[in-house]
Each structure stands twice: as C-alpha cells, then as structure tokens.
Copies of this chain bind each other. A is one copy, B any other.
Amino acid sequence: MNEQDKLLKARDRFIDSMAKNMSLYGITHSVGRLYGLLYFSEKPMTLDEMKDELGMSKTSMSTAVRQLQELNMVEKVWKKGERKDLYQAADDWYESFSALFTTSWRTGISLNISTINKSLKELHALLENPETSDEVKASAELDIEKYQYALDYYDWLNRFVDSLESKEIFNHIPKKE
C-alpha cells in the first residue's frame, strides 16, 4: 500500500466511524458518509464526483445533499463558468449541532404543547360538568397533574433549545478547554 492510500484509508476509517455516530441523530449512514467525503474534500464537489466516489446513484446524491443542506451541514457554492452545482461541507460543527436540534425539536415541542393545552381544556370542562361522575373526576384530576408536568418539561426543553440557538450554551460549556 502506498502512502497516498494510507491517507485515504485513514480518512475512510474515520468517515465510517463518524457516519455510524450520526445515525444517532437520525442521519443515515450513507448520508453521513457523503458528509465525510465533503468534509475532507479540498474543493467543492459536483453530484457526479460524489456518485463516482461513493459508488452510488446520482439521484441518491441529489437527495442526500439536499438533506444535508436542510440540516445546514452542506452549502451550495457558486463558481463562474461551472454549469454543475457545487457543494461543500459546512465547517462549523457547533453551528451544525445547534441547527440540527433546533430545527428538528422546535416543531415537535410546540405540537406537543398545543396538544396538551387542548386536552387540558377538555378535562377542565369535564370537571365543571355536573353530570361527570366522581370517579371520572378523580381520574381527570390525576391526568391534569400529568399534563401539567409534561407542560413544565416541554417548557424546559424549549429553554434548552433557546440556549443552543442563541449560542448561550457555549458560555456554560466553552468550546476550548
């Protein structure tokens, strides 16, 4: 094995490890590998270069790159005289980390909160209804407590995401030791 190959092999080993890790965040192994390829690439790449490098279809590269763009992990680059689209890896991993959780969590949290509020409203109506049996009322009281607990938790989660989004988290956990 020549020296160049050693370097490429070292890259591949790390890219694979990184891609495995990313699957924890809901990023496919293939998409992770593409990110790794772009991360080490010295210049922006075209879809055709990616597909040749990874041995996959061009369509897959197209969708994978779009996914990574949506996560702010890859950006499109413009180069004069180049017809093909060029892409490069976003170099700020802390930024990507924040963006990943911010975008994917916000929606879910708000959705949960409004669902809870809807349910809480119904339960309160139920409590005020004279026809409701004491037994059901007792259950409703218990449920209300649980909804309230969940509501507090989602509020905390929202503030947690705030802290990521505003980069305040880096005051508490600084980037460099």
Contact = CB atoms under 8 A, between A and B. Distances in A.
Contact of A126 (B6, B97, B142): B6
Contacts of A177: 155, 159
A63 to B, nearest CB: 20
A156 B143 contact: no
- Chain A, interface SS category: helix
A78 interface: no
Contact of A133 (B3, B111, B140, B160): B3
Specify how many copies of this chain sit in the oligomer: 2
A62 interface: no
A112 interface: yes
Contacts of A93: 149-150, 153
Interface of A: 3-4, 6-7, 10-11, 13-14, 17-18, 20-21, 24, 26, 39-40, 42, 91, 93-94, 97, 104-105, 108-109, 111-112, 115-116, 118-119, 122-123, 126, 129, 131-133, 136, 139-140, 142-143, 146-147, 149-150, 152-153, 155-157, 159-160, 163, 169, 172-173, 175-177
21 contacts: A3-B126, A3-B131, A3-B136, A4-B139, A7-B123, A7-B139, A14-B147, A14-B150, A17-B112, A17-B115, A18-B112, A20-B108, A21-B111, A21-B112, A42-B139, A93-B149, A94-B153, A94-B156, A156-B175, A159-B173, A169-B172
